Amino acid sequence: MRKIFRGAAALATTAAAVMAMSGAAQARPAAAAGDWAGCPSGAVCVYPQGQDPAQRPSDVYWSYGPHDLVNQHGWHWVLNNQTGGATAELCLNYGGTNCNYTIPAQSGVWADLGPVNSIKLNRP
């Protein structure tokens, strides 16, 4: 009887250790204050084609000025999570020219990026 009890106790201890390790492996850091759908505060994010709702960005832009897009076709979420009133523009030409849509700070748009060739981040 004593051997069965020790075996059961060892099994329970092992199971608890495995559960604890698997829980730690799956733990994720809490999102930073101001993050929005995986887009960090202060950034403009483009999400993979057709990802609705937006969950994890495929491209994150931090610096002001134009950013040329590569192989972005179809419908995407574009979130402007910049602060202080900074805007982002969707532009038909490379280099941030011929912009036809402005995304205000803390806003997003579901857009067809086929005709869009760049995104320009503007200072407030």
Q: Which long-range contacts (CB under 8 A, 24 or more apart) does 93-102 make?
A: 93/117, 93/118, 94/66, 94/68, 94/118, 95/66, 95/68, 96/65, 96/66, 96/67, 96/120, 97/66
User: Strand, coil or helix: what is 95?
Assistant: coil
pLDDT tens-digit map of 75-94: 999 999 999 999 999 999 99
CATH of domain 44-122: 2.60.20.30
Q: Which residue has the tokens 């199971």?
A: 15
- pLDDT, tens digit, for every residue of 88-113? 999 999 999 999 999 999 999 999 99
Mean predicted confidence (pLDDT) in 22-30: 40
For residues 31 and 36, give the distance between their C-alpha atoms in angstroms, rounded to a whole number: 9
